[in-house]
Amino acid sequence: MSSDKVQLSFKGPPNRLVSESVLRLAETGRPLVLELNGRRYRLGVRKAGSDGVSLRLRLPENTPSGTHAARVHAGEQSYDASVEVDEKPRFVVEPAEIHLAASPGRATVTTVRVRNAGNVARPLEGTQTVTFREAGAIGRGVRKAFGEESGDIASRLIELGRQLDSEPARQAEVGCKADFDSLEAGAEANVQVRVRLSDEWKGNPGSWSGQLSLLGASVGLTVDVPGKVPKKSNQDT
C-alpha cells in the first residue's frame, strides 16, 4: 500500500545519509528498505521520540552526488523519498609513498596507479613546485616540540611548525601526466610522475622528503640524491 502523506528526505555523504524527517511506523518489527535505481538498501533505525524513528542509509561511495528520487518500503506501506548525496572525493594512490633515486640536472620518471573511490571527478594537476626537507626533519621537529613537559597541544604544534621552517629546504618541479583529463568516479588509470632536480641540488646528497598533490590526494615523495652525480648520457632529458 502506498502512502502519499509522508515525504522522506535523506542528506549526507554516500556512506552516511540521515533522514531529515521522522517516520512513524504503522507496523513494528518489519525491515525498512529503500529502493533506488532498481536496487534495494537496508535502512538503519534509531528511535526518535515515543513512537518514531530516524533512518540511516549507506550507499556505495561512488554514488553520484545530487538529488535522487527513491521509495522507502516499511512492511505494506511505502513512501516517496528524496536522497541528496553530498560530494565525497576520495582517491587511492598505489604506491601511497613514492621513493626514487634522482640526480641534479636530470629528470626521473616513475608510474603510479590511481583509483577514484569517491563520487567526484577531478582534473589531473599539471606541473607543481614541491618543497623537500631532509627525511629526518619531521622526526627532529617532533622530538624538539614535544620533548618539553609543559605546554598545551596548540603551542607544541606551533613550535613544530617553527622547527620545520628552520630546517634546510629545497624545491623541485614535479609534473604529472596521464591519458585522461579528468578521472571519473569508479575509474582507475596510470599516472606518470616526473621529477626534475635543478643543478642547485648539487652538493646536497641524502634523502629528501616532500608532499605531492595528486588529484587532490597528498602523496609522500622521497628522493635519494647521490653524493657524486654521474655524467649525463644521451638518454638523459
Number of domains in the chain: 2
In this predicted structure, the answer to whether residue 54 has a pLDDT above a threshold of 70 is yes
pLDDT of 152-167, one tens digit each? Answer: 777 767 766 676 666 6
In a domain, 128, yes or no: yes
Can you tell me whether residue 160 is helix, strand or coil?
A: helix
In a shared domain, residues 110 and 173:
yes
CATH number for position 173 = 2.60.40.10
**pLDDT, mean over the chain:** 84
**Does a structural domain hold residue 105?**
yes
Span 120-147, mean pLDDT?
80
Asked whether residue 121 is domain-assigned, the answer is yes
Range of the domain at 58: 2-85
Residues 32, 60 within the same domain: yes
**pLDDT value at residue 2:** 53
pLDDT-wise least confident of 79-83, 137-141, 207-211, 213-217: 137-141
| Residue 76 confidence (pLDDT) | 81
Confidence of residue 143 (pLDDT cuts 50, 70, 90): low
Q: Is the pLDDT of residue 235 over 50?
A: no
State residue 165 phi and psi, 5-degree precision.
-65, -25
Q: What is the pLDDT of residue 24?
A: 65
For residues 104 and 184, membership in a common domain is answered with yes
Whether residues 104 and 205 share a domain: the answer is: yes
189 is a domain residue: yes
For residues 106 and 219, membership in a common domain is answered with yes
Q: Are residues 42 and 127 in the same domain?
A: no
Say if residue 130 is in the same domain as residue 36: no
In the predicted structure, residue 25 carries a pLDDT above the cut 60:
no
Residue type, 168: P
Q: Is residue 36 part of a domain?
A: yes
Answer yes or no: do 6 and 76 share one domain. yes
C-alpha neighbours within 13 Å on the C-beta side of residue 122: 24
Q: Is residue 157 part of a domain?
A: no
pLDDT bucket at 53, cuts 50 / 70 / 90: confident
Q: How far is Cα 216 from Cα 118, in angstroms, rounded to an integer? A: 12
Same domain for 173 and 194?
Answer: yes
- Enter the pTM of the model: 0.72
End of a domain among 45, 60, 85? 85
Shared domain check, 112 and 21: no
Q: What is the mean pLDDT of residues 35-49?
A: 88
Q: Is residue 127 part of a domain?
A: yes
CA distances (Å), origin 120, targets 95, 117, 130, 147, 200: 21, 9, 25, 42, 39
Q: Specify the pLDDT at position 149.
A: 57
**Is the same domain home to 61 and 130?**
no
pLDDT confidence of residue 234: 47
Q: Are 20 and 7 in contact (CB under 8 A)?
A: no
